[in-house]
């Protein structure tokens, strides 16, 4: 089991949403240092001041995870100051919520940059040092969209499919090489943080509260779980997709559960 006590935890996109909540819970579990990477300097400074005033050791770095130079510089600082993370939570993500052909110039590149390159560049910056140390825990915040196609989510789903496949492949690599690095892949459905404002859900696949999502992530890390999927229905996706013909699956998920219309009212974070 991964113990948080006195561990160094780094979270990308950690100044808001489930990233912030997960960081707070890690500190409550006894983490020695919380390192927050975020692109929003106002939120970053505010969070650092608040948590520091509560007696926690919190470090913040202004980082654009889609920029390899930004990631490399921030990681270099961490390594040189003996702040190689024990637990690295790859949480930063964005969504535009449009039909594929409606995307504006730069939106596709930005989504792939943050959701895919951001995950890979950050992990690549720290993995060699973590492997040399012989311990660590890599946590990828993917999405149920990484297993389930959905209208108005083509680019987002593509990015999360990539993150999901990457995370699973790295898990197998770390195991095969006997590095001591644990890997957990998180695949939540919609979380009520504002990022998916306007989406429609139902009692079968409800919108998750941020607290519930963060708690599940912390528990999953503590228990070294390979997957953290939420809500429960997300666990059934691989099985149901495997046994049903595609058109039957589309009917069940699209018309029966209404998933394929869930993004119709999407407005996103203001």
Give residue 270's pLDDT: 64
Give residue 17's pLDDT: 94
What amino acid positions are annotated as catalytic residues? 156
Q: Are strands 227-230 and 181-188 parallel, antiparallel or unpaired?
A: parallel
Read off the pLDDT of residues 213-234 as tens digits, 9 standing for 90 and up. Answer: 999 999 999 999 999 999 988 9
**Residue 1 clears pLDDT 60, i.e. is over it:** no
Q: Are strands 87-90 and 136-141 parallel, antiparallel or unpaired?
A: parallel
Instruction: Look at residues 118, 33, 32 and name the one whose alpha carbon lies nearest to residue 67.
Output: 118
**Residue 2 clears pLDDT 80, i.e. is over it:** no
| Cα distances (Å, whole numbers) of residue 269 to 56, 96, 197 | 29, 10, 6
Predicted TM-score (pTM) of the model is 0.95
Average per-residue pLDDT for the chain: 95
**Residue 205 clears pLDDT 90, i.e. is over it:** no
Task: List, in sequence order, the alpha helices (H) in 88-229.
Answer: 107-112, 118-133, 154-176, 210-222
Is 8-261 a CATH 3.40.630.10 domain? no
Read off the pLDDT of residues 99-120 as tens digits, 9 standing for 90 and up. Answer: 999 999 999 999 999 999 999 9
Stretch 159-186: mean pLDDT, rounded?
98
Give residue 75's pLDDT: 98
Read off the pLDDT of residues 21-33 as tens digits, 9 standing for 90 and up. Answer: 999 999 999 999 9
Q: Which helix (H) or strand (E) holds 27?
A: helix 17-28
């Amino acid at each position: 089991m991964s113990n948080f006590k006195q561990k160094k935890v780094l979270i990308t996109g950690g100044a808001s949403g489930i990233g912030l909540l997960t960081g707070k819970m890690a500190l409550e579990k006894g983490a020695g240092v919380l390192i927050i990477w975020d692109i929003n300097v106002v939120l970053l400074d505010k969070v650092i001041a608040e948590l520091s005033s509560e007696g926690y050791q919190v470090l913040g770095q202004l980082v654009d995870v889609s920029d390899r130079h930004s990631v490399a510089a921030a990681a270099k600082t961490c390594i040189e100051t003996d702040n190689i993370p024990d637990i690295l939570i790859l949480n930063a993500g964005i969504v535009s919520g449009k039909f594929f052909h409606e995307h504006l110039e730069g939106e596709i590149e930005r989504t792939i940059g943050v959701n895919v390159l951001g995950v890979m560049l950050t992990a690549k910056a720290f993995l060699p040092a973590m492997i040399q140390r012989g311990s660590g825990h890599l946590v990828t915040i993917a999405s149920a969209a990484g297993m389930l196609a959905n209208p108005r989510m083509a680019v987002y789903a593509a990015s999360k499919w990539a993150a999901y496949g990457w995370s699973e492949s790295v898990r197998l690599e770390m195991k095969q090489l006997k590095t001591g690095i644990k890997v957990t892949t998180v695949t939540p459905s919609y979380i009520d943080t504002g990022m998916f404002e306007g989406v429609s859900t139902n009692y079968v696949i409800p919108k998750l509260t941020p607290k519930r999502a963060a708690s599940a992530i912390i528990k999953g890390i503590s228990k070294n779980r390979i997957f953290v999927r939420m809500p429960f229905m997300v666990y059934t996706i691989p099985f149901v997709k495997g046994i049903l013909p595609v058109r039957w699956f589309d009917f069940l998920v699209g018309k029966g559960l209404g998933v394929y219309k869930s993004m119709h009212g999407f407005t996103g974070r203001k």
